[in-house]
């Protein structure tokens, strides 16, 4: 499914999905850049909506919803895009 968020087009078929187990927000999608998007569904909506999640909120949802692998996946994708080794500290 193609979605538009903040004037950018994303394709959920090319993202990795993590199930939350909650009917009102059934999945969190993560793209190749490590950006996370929350799928939001309501009975009266024709199609689900998506909201961009900051990394901190994706981590919080990973812990509160007990989503295995989400936090590590987002962290690894973000590190790969920025070119920083995972766990490495960057000095200014």
Q: What is the pLDDT of residues 52-82, one digit of tens each?
A: 888 889 889 888 888 988 888 888 887 877 7
- Strands, DSSP E only, in 1-92? 2-5, 8-11, 16-22, 25-30, 36-40, 49-53
pTM for the structure as a whole: 0.77
The residues spanned by each domain of the chain are 18-82
Residue 17 CB coordination number (10 Å): 14
pLDDT in tens, 15-49: 999 999 888 989 999 988 888 999 999 989 888 88
């Amino acid at each position: 499914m193609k979605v538009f968020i903040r004037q950018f087009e994303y394709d959920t078929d090319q993202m990795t999905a993590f199930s939350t187990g909650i009917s009102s927000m059934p999945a969190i999608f993560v793209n190749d850049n490590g950006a996370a998007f929350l799928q939001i569904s309501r009975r009266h909506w024709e199609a689900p909506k998506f909201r961009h999640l900051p990394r901190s909120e994706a981590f919080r949802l990973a812990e509160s919803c007990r989503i295995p692998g989400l936090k590590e996946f987002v962290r690894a994708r973000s590190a790969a895009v920025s070119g920083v080794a995972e766990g490495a500290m960057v000095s200014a």
